[in-house]
């Protein structure tokens, strides 16, 4: 059976369509994988650009960190710090007319070389007083940071708000206290013997706690008449 020229053209076109369809079906998975790789490559380029910008800004971030670090309080290793931060918060609240109705210190966490202590608190105050209280705490640099703030109205006390917040207190440990009395320092020498030959017992070594708690002794020249 012979086909006309028109039928032959239709048959060739049909075969080409089927062939391209099969080829596209086979290449679909490869095209999807190639598209995924292109998206991943673009994401990597963005991450690389962001990392480069962070590296270039490293000296500036380090300078800012050193400024904050110099102002950050330092406590001895193992020293309880919750009473210190509770006192700081209470003093600010009292100064601005805010009533702290409940407070609960949390656990200490280490972030890099900076320690953080959380304090969960509930409060009552007028809006103006609490606003000034928040501003005072946020103005304490990086040492006091208020997070998870909740504010509610009270029907029983008109004009008085209540709520809760979580205070994050930042500080460091160890270095400053250890620098005050270096390890391996020699104890104080014994006092010289008197005319009768008796010698006074030598004083025990001064610890780092004694250095912080006790005032420095006066010089021998100041004690002479």
Give the CA angle between residues 143, 145, 151 to the nearest 5°: 150
Residues 127 and 162 in one domain: yes
pLDDT above 80 for 128: yes
pLDDT tens, 9-63?
A: 777 777 777 776 777 766 776 777 778 888 889 999 999 998 888 888 888 877 7
Domain of 128, CATH number, reads: 3.30.70.60
SS3 9: helix
The answer to the question of residue 223 being in a domain is: no
Confirm whether 141 is domain-assigned: yes
Q: Which of 74-78, 154-158, 170-174, 205-209 has the lowest mean pLDDT?
A: 205-209
Do 122 and 172 sit in the same domain of this protein? Answer: yes
Q: Report d(CA 117, CA 107) in Å as an integer.
A: 6
Mean pLDDT of 96-120: 91
Does 158 lie in the same domain as 96? Answer: yes
As beta bridge partners, residue 168 has 118, 145
Higher pLDDT, 157 or 149: 149
Looking at the structure, tell me whether residues 126 and 89 fall in a common domain: yes
Residue-number span of the structural domain to which 125 is assigned: 73-177
């Amino acid at each position: 059976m012979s086909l006309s020229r028109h039928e032959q053209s239709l048959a060739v076109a049909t075969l080409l369509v089927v062939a391209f369809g099969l080829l596209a079906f086979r290449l679909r998975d490869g095209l999807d994988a190639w598209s995924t790789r292109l998206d991943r490559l673009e994401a990597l380029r963005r991450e690389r650009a962001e990392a480069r910008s962070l590296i270039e800004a490293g000296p500036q971030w380090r300078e800012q960190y050193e400024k904050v670090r110099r102002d950050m309080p330092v406590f001895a290793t193992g020293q309880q710090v919750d009473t210190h931060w509770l006192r700081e918060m209470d003093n600010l609240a009292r100064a601005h007319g805010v009533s702290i109705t409940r407070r609960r210190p949390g656990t200490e966490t280490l972030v890099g070389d900076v320690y953080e202590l959380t304090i969960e608190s509930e409060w009552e105050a007028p809006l103006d007083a609490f606003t000034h209280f928040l501003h005072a705490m946020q103005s304490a640099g990086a040492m006091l940071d208020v997070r998870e703030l909740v504010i509610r109205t009270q029907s029983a006390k008109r004009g008085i708000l209540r709520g809760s917040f979580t205070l994050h207190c930042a500080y460091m440990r160890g270095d400053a206290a250890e620098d005050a009395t270096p390890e391996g320092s020699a104890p104080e020498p014994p006092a010289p013997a008197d005319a009768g030959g008796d010698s006074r017992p030598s004083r025990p070594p001064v610890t780092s706690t004694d250095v912080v708690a006790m005032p420095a002794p006066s010089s021998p020249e100041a004690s002479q008449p």
